[in-house]
Amino acid sequence: MQLTGTAAIVTGGASGLGGATAKALAAKGAHVFALDLAASIEVAPHPDWVTYVEADVTNTDQVQAAVAQAADSGVPLRTVVNCAGIGTAGRVVSKKGPHDLDAYRKVVEVNLIGTFNVLRLSSEAIAKTEPLADDQRGVVINTASIAAFEGQIGQIAYASSKGGVVGMTLPAARDLAQFGIRVLTIAPGIVDTPMMAGVSDEFRATLAEGVPFPKRLGRSEEYAQLAVSLIEHDYLNGEVVRMDGALRMSPR
């Protein structure tokens, strides 16, 4: 599928994986609508190739309005990349007691329910576009994590939410096949994003050493490159692709 002359939505599009993806899609000729929270948009660069839209992925009204803006932009909405996400650390039971339920619920709400919210509302809009070759209309790429498969100690909330994203990939692809919409998921390993900003260089080096090859952290631009490749490869559907340098996470 060609991106030139189409609209694309990227959640978490003000920085990190989303920011790099927005830039890559724009470079391919897409009109990019980057959804993010107001605080993130305020400190983001504002290049002329992206339209920022304030939206919380868990808020149906805000997402619906953002989707409508993209769908009414004058070019067909064909692409959605869900990068918005949060993480928290906490064991099921620790010295402080059981895991805080509200903290667990918040991670699942943003990472899993928020992803599904954008998926369902954007797919409805994509389904109304004119079909391309092979009756294709568009593609949705969600973001999981290798924690979905090898969640570490203290990652119970994050791993649960990302495991849910993995689990909905195939049924979503099957549900949306009738509309010519493909659904794919990228499961990154350890990527050097703003979420890693507080990590010391020493600990960063330790993390990189655990990656079989190449022995470094992943880059947001590599996620974006993979996303573009998946979008352009029309026969990829219902698949989860790991981007992790062959890393398999240890318990801690």
Distances (CA, A) of 75 to 64, 152, 191: 18, 43, 33
pLDDT computed for residue 194 by the predictor:
75
Q: Is residue 251 part of a domain?
A: no
- Measured between alpha carbons, how far is 78 from 92 in angstroms, rounded to an integer? 40
pLDDT tens, residue by residue, 120-161:
999 999 999 999 999 999 999 999 999 999 999 999 999 999
Q: Is residue 168 part of a domain?
A: yes
Mean pLDDT rounded to a whole number for the chain: 96
Q: Is residue 200 part of a domain?
A: yes
Q: Could you tell me the pLDDT band of residue 197, with boundaries at 50, 70 and 90?
A: low
Q: Which of these, 136, 209, 207, lies nearest to 173 by C-alpha position?
A: 136
Q: Is residue 1 part of a domain?
A: no
pLDDT computed for residue 222 by the predictor:
98
Q: Is residue 250 part of a domain?
A: no
Q: Is residue 2 part of a domain?
A: no
* Dihedral of the alpha carbons of 239, 243, 249, 252, in degrees to the nearest 10: -120
* CATH code at position 12: 3.40.50.720
Mean pLDDT to the nearest integer, 200-205: 80
Mean pLDDT to the nearest integer, 201-227: 92
pLDDT tens, residue by residue, 54-113:
999 999 999 999 999 999 999 999 999 999 999 999 999 999 999 999 999 999 999 999
Cβ contacts of residue 240 below 8 Å, gap of 6+?
144, 166, 169, 184, 185, 186, 187
pLDDT over 90 for what percent of the chain?
90
- Measured between alpha carbons, how far is 83 from 128 in angstroms, rounded to an integer? 24
Q: Is residue 193 part of a domain?
A: yes
Q: What sections of 1-71 are H helices per DSSP?
A: 16-27, 38-43, 60-71
What residues act catalytically?
158
Q: Could you tell me the pLDDT band of residue 207, with boundaries at 50, 70 and 90?
A: confident
Q: How many domains does the chain have?
A: 1
Contact at 8 Å (CB) between 251 and 152? yes
Domain span at 151: 7-242
Which is higher by pLDDT, 249 or 137?
Answer: 137
Residue 198 has pLDDT above 70, yes or no: no
CA 26-60-47 angle, to 5 degrees, is 25
Contact at 8 Å (CB) between 216 and 207? no
pLDDT computed for residue 240 by the predictor:
98
pLDDT computed for residue 76 by the predictor:
98
Q: Is residue 247 part of a domain?
A: no
Residue 238 has pLDDT above 80, yes or no: yes
pLDDT computed for residue 204 by the predictor:
80
